[in-house]
Amino acid sequence: MSKNDRSPAATSLPGYDEVDVSVLVVGAGAAGARAAIELADQGVEDVLVLGKRSHGDAHTTWARGGINGALGTHDPEDSWAIHAADTLNEGHFLNDPAKVETVAKQMPDRLRELDEWGMDYSRTDDGEIDQRFFGAQSFRRTAFAGDHTGESLLNALVDRAQELSIPYREDVMITKLVSDDDAVYGAVGFDMDSGEFVLFNAGTVVLAAGGYAAVYNRHTSRDDENNGDGPALAYDAGASLMDMEFVQFHPTGMAVDESDPEWEPWSGRLVTEAVRGEGGRLYNTDGERFMERYSPDQMELDARDVVARAIAQEVAEGRGTDNGGVYLDISHRDAEFIQERLPRMYERFAELGVDMAEEPVEVAPTSHYGMGGVVVDDHGETDVDGLFAVGETMAGVHGANRLGGNSLAETVAFGTVAGDRIADRVDGPGSVPDDLVESVVEPQIAGLAETAGRDGIHDVDAVFAELQDLMWEHAGLLRDEESLSAGLDALARVREKAGDLDVGPITSRSFEYAVDVGFMLTTAETVLRGARERTESRGAHYRTDYPDVDEAWQQNITYERADLGGMRTDVSPVGSPDETVQAALDEGHELDYHQLE
């Protein structure tokens, strides 16, 4: 690292450190870690991975249920092609078939390799990697490590990265990529501990910075993560985004009294699907088991979007609780059964004074996963030369709805593919041309310095919350033209407030939030615009004024930066699956829901 000698001595621009590196990986969850491992395995030494938190502490650790790959442990008739077919079906054929094929083909090898690297999979009696049923998958294809799959996966990757001596820098937040819209040259950020500004000179940048599900007020993500940093950074650098309007709402998040400090932190947190899998029933405040009206055959075990919409409808029609939810009741099972099958859930509610064996819990849909992200080619590269996006930051694999267990799969599959491509093209450390230092780097650092300690009118937390509230209100589960337009107007008012924030010093939480508000404004606008433009209902996107699928809309909406801060949307056609996948689709495999564990 060196102190820069480029800033003109006479200006008031604060100093900044410079770091030269061939490949900068922004994000150290499963996707970033796997990309870095591939690079190191292929002999690329000059790689730096960084994240906003410490090593091994990424959102990935919260994934619980499992990771997909057609190993066929129990069901030898499963294949990568059926995995791909299930993914396309659940994505309502808006997925990019080539990317789906890449993930499905890669995964058996990726799962075995993780085994070699020490992932502590749950196993069958004869020591094979165990696999279970997961919603909408034709066979038992989801590998898991108890109910801590993500943590175990990331531990294995971090151990492997450390074995390969891959450098990691913690507590660094990237605020802007250095790009001229055609190519990327590095990134600007700050050290969240020391408060120093840093310019990373890097010829290749891999964005593995997670998703955007937390632009909603009720969400399952960790606090302060998934605010859309990855997509917003790429968009600002000149890349396109796609499918942003598709947000998966998990049907059962905790619905709590947010004025109660003991319950408030639990708002939106996931109540595992397993509660319904083990027989949990949903009731409205009239005591009706309302799924009988929405899905008489599959009832509470229907697809996530169907159950989530049913709950939202009940609440909208006045049959919800004061906390905006409905009741999930498993009290017909005895305490021993619940403690054995759902230990963490039982414990969590018991600590809050609710005995699941005696009474129902309150649940409501919660924002869980953004299917959209950055447009990339088959190797994870964006249309900005040298800029890659992988994992939850990228678009294309999930289409209109994500198959559970496929996002962890996407992280390691595309981490590998992108790492492999970068290894072929990497060409020594990058360097930011002087004109971009002047036009991009210095204004960015001056802007950050000006924001730090700013004595503005608006409280950062309040603006952050206002944005999340408006997304819930206007771009939640049940959408229509009028409300989406009102949402865009409300977003413009939030944008104005965001220009005059009251912010602490650079190392404060409020400074991080102030930067995040900027990322959230971009991602929120794409969701609202795309949802308004898509005049149909498909997968996770439901328009009450256009309740049916419109075949003419089998297209992806893309979003690009336009002049003067504007946003341009466009549509692009979806590709066709290859013959093998088409044959699997024609065979019509599907899950017998009664087999769900």
Ligand X SMILES: Cc1cc2nc3c(=O)[nH]c(=O)nc-3n(C[C@H](O)[C@H](O)[C@H](O)COP(=O)(O)OP(=O)(O)OC[C@H]3O[C@@H](n4cnc5c(N)ncnc54)[C@H](O)[C@@H]3O)c2cc1C
Distance CA 296, CA 290 (A): 9
Measured from the CB atom, the residue of 64 and 83 that comes closer to ligand X is: 64
- Contact between 67 and ligand X by CB under 6 A: the answer reads yes
Looking at residue 8, what DSSP letter applies? -
Closest CA to 240 of 530, 536, 543: 530
- Contact between 59 and ligand X by CB under 6 A: the answer reads yes
3-state DSSP assignment of residue 427: coil
- Contact between 150 and ligand X by CB under 6 A: the answer reads yes
Measured from the CB atom, the residue of 110 and 333 that comes closer to ligand X is: 110
CB 413 within 8 A of CB 110: yes
Closest CA to 44 of 166, 185, 162: 166
* Dihedral pair phi/psi, residue 158, rounded to 5°: -65, -40
Measured from the CB atom, the residue of 364 and 490 that comes closer to ligand X is: 364
Residue whose entry in the numeric block shows the structure tokens 């409205």: 284
Measured from the CB atom, the residue of 55 and 589 that comes closer to ligand X is: 55
Minimum distance from residue 372 beta carbon to ligand X (Å): 13
Binding characters for ligand X, 398-417, by CB under 6 A (x = yes) = -------xxxx--x------
Which residues share a beta bridge with 199?
18, 188
* Dihedral pair phi/psi, residue 183, rounded to 5°: -145, 155
Binding characters for ligand X, 354-393, by CB under 6 A (x = yes) = --------------xx---------------------xx-
- Contact between 277 and ligand X by CB under 6 A: the answer reads no
Catalytic residue among 250, 368, 402, 458: 250
Which residues 213-252 are close enough to bind ligand X by CB under 6 A?
Answer: 220-221, 225, 229
Which residues 331-350 are close enough to bind ligand X by CB under 6 A?
Answer: none
Measured from the CB atom, the residue of 54 and 572 that comes closer to ligand X is: 54
Minimum distance from residue 45 beta carbon to ligand X (Å): 22
Which residues 18-47 are close enough to bind ligand X by CB under 6 A?
Answer: 26-32
- Contact between 518 and ligand X by CB under 6 A: the answer reads no
Q: What is each CA distance from 451 to 123, 230, 338, 517, in whole angstroms?
A: 52, 21, 50, 12
Segment near ligand X (CB under 6 A), from 170-178, 278-286, 297-305, 473-481?
170-178
Measured from the CB atom, the residue of 30 and 310 that comes closer to ligand X is: 30
By CB atoms closer than 10 A (0-12, 13-18, 19+), residue 341 is middle
Sole binder of ligand X in the list 4, 95, 137, 149 (CB under 6 A): 149
Sole binder of ligand X in the list 14, 17, 62, 574 (CB under 6 A): 62
By CB atoms closer than 10 A (0-12, 13-18, 19+), residue 208 is buried
Minimum distance from residue 232 beta carbon to ligand X (Å): 9
Measured from the CB atom, the residue of 369 and 553 that comes closer to ligand X is: 369
User: Which helix (H) or strand (E) element contains residue 83?
Assistant: helix 80-90
Size of the site for ligand X (CB under 6 A): 42
Minimum distance from residue 417 beta carbon to ligand X (Å): 14
276 is an active site residue: yes
Catalytic residue among 59, 160, 276, 479: 276
Minimum distance from residue 418 beta carbon to ligand X (Å): 12
* CA-based torsion, 140, 144, 149, 155: positive or negative: negative
250 is an active site residue: yes
Distance CA 595, CA 132 (A): 10
Measured from the CB atom, the residue of 411 and 483 that comes closer to ligand X is: 411
Minimum distance from residue 449 beta carbon to ligand X (Å): 18
Distance CA 314, CA 230 (A): 35
Segment near ligand X (CB under 6 A), from 172-180, 235-243, 278-286, 301-309?
172-180
Which residues share a beta bridge with 191?
172
Closest CA to 409 of 141, 589, 163: 141
Minimum distance from residue 593 beta carbon to ligand X (Å): 19
Using left for φ > 0, alpha for ψ between -120 and 50, and beta otherwise, residue 588 falls in left
Distance CA 186, CA 32 (A): 16
Measured from the CB atom, the residue of 32 and 251 that comes closer to ligand X is: 32
Minimum distance from residue 147 beta carbon to ligand X (Å): 9
Sole binder of ligand X in the list 60, 152, 252, 451 (CB under 6 A): 60
What letters, b where the CB count within 10 A reaches 16 and e where it falls short, cover 531-569?
Answer: bbebebbbbbbbbeebeeeeeebbebbbbbbeeeeeeeb
Minimum distance from residue 401 beta carbon to ligand X (Å): 13
Pairing of strands 47-50, 172-179: unpaired
- Contact between 490 and ligand X by CB under 6 A: the answer reads no
Binding characters for ligand X, 173-212, by CB under 6 A (x = yes) = xx---------------------------------xxx--
E-assigned strand segments in 371-504: 373-374, 387-389, 458-459, 501-502
Measured in Å, how far apart are the chain's first and last C-alpha atoms? 52
- Contact between 324 and ligand X by CB under 6 A: the answer reads no
Measured from the CB atom, the residue of 251 and 487 that comes closer to ligand X is: 251
Distance of alpha carbon 511 from its chain centroid, rounded?
23
- Chain residue whose CB lies nearest ligand X: 29
Tell me which residues touch ligand X (CB under 6 A): 26-32, 50-53, 58-60, 62-67, 149-150, 172-174, 208-210, 220-221, 225, 229, 270, 368-369, 391-392, 405-408, 411
Which of the residues are catalytic? 250, 276
